[in-house]
Amino acid sequence: MDWSGHNAANRAHINNIRYNAECALEAADAARSGNRNVMAGEHASSGGTHPKLPADFDEFQHNLLSIRDLLVVLYESLADGTDPGEQPRHCRRNSETSEFRKVRNLGDNPPEFSNFYTPYNKAFYDECPYNNLDPLQNEIRLLEIIMDHRHDSLEFKLHQNLALDDVKSMYMALSYCAGDPKVTEEVIVNGLTFNVFSTAYAALQEVHRSQQLALAEGKHVRCNIWLDQICIDQSDRIERSHQVELMREIYANAESVMVWLGHDTTDGSGARFLRQQLCLVADYHEQLRRGADEAQKLEQLNLYVVETTKAHFQSLNGLKLKNTVEGLTAFLSSPWWTRCWVVQELVVAKEARLVFGINSLDWFSFSVGIVILDKTFKHLQSIFTGELDNGSSLSEENSKTIDSMLDRYDSIAVFSFFDEVKKMWEESSKPSLTVMLEHSRGRESSDPRDRIFAFLGLVDSGYEIAVDYCHHKTSEESANAFKNLLTDTARRIIIQEGSLDILSHVELDARGDDNDLPSWVPDWTSPREGDVQLLYTNCSSIFQNFPYIGQKAYNVSKNTAIVHFGKEMPDGPYKYLSVQGFIIDEVAAANTFGEREGNESPIHMADRWERIIAQYQGNYLYLAQCKSIWGALWEVFTRGLLHKTKYQNDLTPEGMGQFDNEIASRLSGMMNGWRFFCSPKGYLGLATHRAQPTDLLCIILGAHVPYVIRKNGLYYSLVGEAYVHGLMDGEAMRWGELVHRMQTLTIS
């Protein structure tokens, strides 16, 4: 039959049915992923209830996929005049899998901000080389290197429709930093040219090189590779969303993960130094094996490591010192460390190998080297900034090289965080999403949604945040959708964690006047400025400047959060957070509110504030367990943690005067970004520098620290954290006067 006479109306009707099938698929995928709207009145303490999916839901979703594919085939048939009983071009059955190849959706326009869909590959996608993957079978694709290829470029065979359970430990997963999407190299995939990121190409070259060496040694090799840019159809946002949700399992089930850090332009001294540290520890630990008890062994080992590493650097001079420092700096400065997705890719790996140029290092060796570098760093600073053992000074060139390494010290906290999360994962423990998202502030991603999506695989599934790479036609639509994602993420964190500690992560300093996010919602793409939040302060590290996984220092409310979420419009996003709490006082009385003056030392600052609040001697002044104003001031300046240190018995002018320069410097730094206050009712404390004297101090159920809020019409807006002396461990919850003033506080 000649189908060419079918008119456009018939094709439009078929396309409309196809569109409805797509919408139904999206709804089904959202239901499976837990993307269900929680009723505005849901309480975090109860966790809410959700309707269960029907028993035949999987079959229903599978049928939708089949209907969608057949409708696409029919539409193409009507469009090009072929018989729908035949297979149209670009939709032939695959002889291996009997699956239909994909047809590009009409009008499909992949998001421009997704650099994984590089415009250089339009010709590749137009050939429709991909089969549909069955999400119910967790199917993936793998690349096989063709060693006897006939092209100048690397050549691969793409294996499709592989159930993940069937290929466990049968492939290598690559982890890399994509870099500039405009810088690409050609490879051949199933006979078609594909423009792969230059960084991924370099990683593939390294794999190819290692396979050539194995063949030269007479070994039979068949290397299967999972590379996201090629193995995921980047032009299909539905597949992309599903594969991203599967990413954790893809990396966890790989035989190994190769981390490509880039080309090493140094002589490799940095990687060799890190590798040698493991040998150093192993050799000395063997000597101690039959010696003292474990505590003494550890102390001796730490001392040995520090002294040996110091001696190693002191023995270097001239070119060797320069090469070692440059090598370490280059290794620690790879852009790979800055990416969001690499945390998951590394943490879940059975075996991870860091490859930097021709040098490689397994993760365990690297982590040992970093721990040693961390322990010896303050000693190395004195070595680098002083004279060498031979009495000579460092050259200007070497000094600049060493300065660049010293600048990388903050990054060591990042590496330690990687290691800590990896250990938690191996022990079947999972970090909170709040901690992971705080970490994401220092990461980078081509798509801002990945600041959230990249960490979902490492946390409990109870957060129920769906991965959706929906494309929006305008930048305004994209911005509104991302704002809604941030708000929904904050809401789900509060519900899942039963805590309001997320309020400590709101970065109001970095927000512009045009930012209309609710004040209780963090924007994880904004950098954190100023001092670290109180929530993660701990006495073991006064300068804690990175998400702290462990016991929190305070617990002001000793209760679970009771919350209510509200919307401005019934079909709009959530805007209001109603909490249970009580107002303690206004922030400050007149003339008792201010910041550190210049480089004022802690002792001078205490003297000044003691004089300022002397007017309250005749009135009520809450000193808590302290015997003097001086002692209370020091507790405030150190955020109540000084009594947990060796200085707890020195809370006097004479005792505090014995502080060494290092401690004095740390305490001075702790006042940056904070204002001291004495409230009208006599409470002493610290408030964020954004606070005003007439703002309100409050305690909120489910929060570990007090907060400053500001009356804004019918609602309140969040200003920031506060430290209130004598109330940080739940003392106020035992005072009937305050508890009886419990009320609903609605924050917008």
Residues 6+ apart with CB under 8 A from 67: 21
**What does the alpha-carbon distance between residue 342 and residue 360 come to, in Å, rounded to a whole number?**
17
**What does the alpha-carbon distance between residue 129 and residue 144 come to, in Å, rounded to a whole number?**
16
**What does the alpha-carbon distance between residue 380 and residue 384 come to, in Å, rounded to a whole number?**
6
In degrees, rounded to 5, the angle at the alpha carbon of residue 403 between the alpha carbons of residues 397 and 407 is: 150
Which H or E element spans position 230? helix 228-231
Q: What is the pLDDT of residue 457?
A: 92
Q: What is the pLDDT of residue 486?
A: 95
Mean pLDDT, 10 residues at a time, over the chain (748 residues)? 41 52 57 42 39 52 55 47 39 44 49 57 88 93 85 87 95 92 91 94 92 82 90 89 93 95 86 79 60 61 72 72 80 87 91 91 84 69 53 54 59 74 85 88 85 92 89 83 94 94 87 83 81 56 41 80 92 93 90 78 78 69 77 80 53 54 61 85 90 95 94 94 91 78 94
The type of residue at 685 is G
Q: pTM of the entire structure?
A: 0.77
Q: What is the pLDDT of residue 567?
A: 92
Q: What is the pLDDT of residue 667?
A: 65
- Which tokens sit at 739? 């508890």
Q: What is the pLDDT of residue 63?
A: 56
**What does the alpha-carbon distance between residue 612 and residue 675 come to, in Å, rounded to a whole number?**
14
**What does the alpha-carbon distance between residue 425 and residue 392 come to, in Å, rounded to a whole number?**
48
Q: What is the pLDDT of residue 85?
A: 40
> What are the C-alpha distances in Å from 185 to residues 195, 199, 209, 425?
5, 9, 17, 36
Torsion of CA 727, 732, 738, 741, to 10 degrees: 100
* Cβ atoms 581, 745 nearer than 8 A: yes
Q: What is the pLDDT of residue 95?
A: 41
Burial state string for 679-692 with b = 16 or more CB within 10 A and e = fewer than 16? beebbbbbbbebbe
